[in-house]
Amino acid sequence: MESGVREELSALVAAFADRLQWQLHHGAWGAPTSSSPRLSRPDSQTAPDPKPPDAATPAATSDLAAPTLEQVRADLGDCRRCPLAAGRKQIVFGEGAPDSEVMFVGEGPGADEDASGHPFVGKAGQLLTRMIQAMGLERDEVYIANIVKCRPPNNRDPQPGEIEACEPFLRLQIDAIGPRMIIALGGFAAKTLLRTETGISQLRGRFHTYHGTPLMPTFHPAFLLRNPERKRPVWEDLKQVMAEMDRLGLNRRRG
């Protein structure tokens, strides 16, 4: 009898530990504040990243499930959480397939994006579209977003307080989409997502991990417009992504 009780207690403890890890991964911690979304998860890149329970289990069908993009956008609202709101024309939330297997993350909107409300629509956006097509994908098959959703003045880098206010919504977008691959466009996006000060030249060319998802840093399309000789290294980065997509069985046209 005593042995059976010990075994039952051990099983309960193990189940509880699995539950705690799943909650940590899916954002069950933290009270809402006026400056952050209602759903969030820790910033730590060293947190456990377990596989979530099977979809048929009660935990996966509870209110801990990832939000939808519509819910994230509604939570963002007419955001006034940081000073960027004062100078913007439009919030650039992001766009693309809500169940995309590939997600591109840039730094922030520029003038064209601020005017249109859509990400990557200027010359850099046109180059990004060609990059996506070269990978055997169409732009509407991927999802495109930025670290911040309002244009910084004169296209300067976002400041820490602006990132702190905005990045939680990007994390929720990633949770909602569940991409199998993330491509960080430019040093600022890569360093922010990976929590590092290492430059893009050292980061690119190899896979990293963002909360369990493979992440490939590469040069920003705007940088390529100024430095066309760097297009070849970017193509090498994208070829690695394409090879990994093929290995994982993700959808794309084979050229």
Helix (H) or strand (E) holding 18: helix 2-25
Closest CA relative to residue 113, chosen from 141, 134, 144, 138: 144
pLDDT for 252:
79
Tell me how many helices (H) and strands (E) the chain has.
9, 6
pLDDT at 255: 53
CA-wise closest residue to 97 among 147, 139, 127, 125: 139
Sheet holding 95-96, edge to edge: 95-96, 143-146, 102-106, 181-185, 213-218, 208-210
Please report the pLDDT score of residue 251 as a whole number. Answer: 81
**Structure tokens that stand for 72 in this block:** 């994230």
Per-residue pLDDT, 199: 97
Residue 173, C-beta contacts closer than 8 angstroms, at least 6 positions apart: 69, 72, 94, 143, 145
Task: Provide the 3-class DSSP secondary structure of residue 172.
Answer: helix
pTM: 0.76
Residue type, 124: A
Average per-residue pLDDT for the chain: 82
Confirm if 111 and 208 have CB atoms less than 8 A apart.
no
Mean pLDDT on 200-207: 97
Mean pLDDT within 139-156? 96
Q: What is the reported pLDDT for 253?
A: 73
Confidence category of residue 34, pLDDT binned at 50, 70, 90: very low
* All structural domains of the chain: 90-255 (3.40.470.10)
Integer-rounded Cα radius of gyration of the chain: 20
Find the mean pLDDT for residues 86-100. 97
Q: Rounded CA gap, 171 and 25, in Å?
A: 12
* Location of structure tokens 């990832």: 66
Residue corresponding to tokens 């600022």: 188
